[in-house]
């Protein structure tokens, strides 16, 4: 089956508490400094937009976004390492963009590591531009890494 056919077989749905163990497993596989289960449960508790992308009954990725005052902020977007480069990240990002518009956001923001070249390519493809930088934002081997702040107009 082609990557596009796999993409079409995937479905998006709201994340629920029972998804957190599988989501945290993806988080740990994808990042050297993963979020904790507590952070994920807090995101659900406070009502952030929390989505999972499923394929074949398995969670392949997830996205978490806050919104308010005309802005939306992607807090986390991750695809299981074995499922990357199949169009799933783009599908999830497009879904979050649509959700941000649905909640009357006119701007979508996110932070990304400058070393995350794949993410930077995806964000650039979908019209995000750098609007700033957060010094020493991310933990990194041997210290800290800056975050690039990216934004995209949604109107």
Catalytic residue among 111, 138, 141, 145: 111
Catalytic residue among 99, 123, 138, 145: 123
* Residue 60 phi, psi (nearest 5): -105, -20
Q: Which residue has the tokens 């923001």?
A: 109
**Does 111 participate in catalysis according to the annotation?**
yes
Helix (H, G, I), strand (E, B) or coil at 71: strand
Distance, CA of 101 to CA of 105 (rounded, Å): 5
Radius of gyration of the chain (CA): 15
Residue 101: C-alpha distances to residues 88, 152, 154 (Å): 20, 12, 7
Catalytically active residues are: 111, 123
């Amino acid at each position: 089956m082609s990557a596009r056919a796999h993409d079409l077989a995937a479905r998006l749905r709201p994340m629920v508490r029972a998804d957190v163990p599988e989501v945290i497993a993806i988080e740990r596989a994808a990042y050297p400094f993963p979020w904790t289960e507590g952070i994920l449960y807090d995101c659900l508790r406070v009502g952030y937009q929390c989505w999972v992308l499923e394929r074949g009954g398995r969670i392949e990725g997830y996205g978490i976004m806050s919104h308010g005052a005309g802005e939306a902020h992607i807090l986390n977007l991750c695809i299981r390492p074995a499922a990357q480069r199949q169009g799933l990240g783009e599908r999830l990002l497009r879904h979050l963009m649509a959700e941000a518009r649905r909640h009357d956001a006119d701007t979508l923001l996110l932070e990304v590591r400058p070393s995350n070249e794949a993410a930077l390519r995806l964000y650039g493809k979908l019209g995000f531009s750098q609007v700033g930088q957060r010094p020493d934002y991310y933990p990194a081997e041997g210290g800290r890494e800056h975050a690039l702040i990216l934004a995209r107009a949604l109107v």
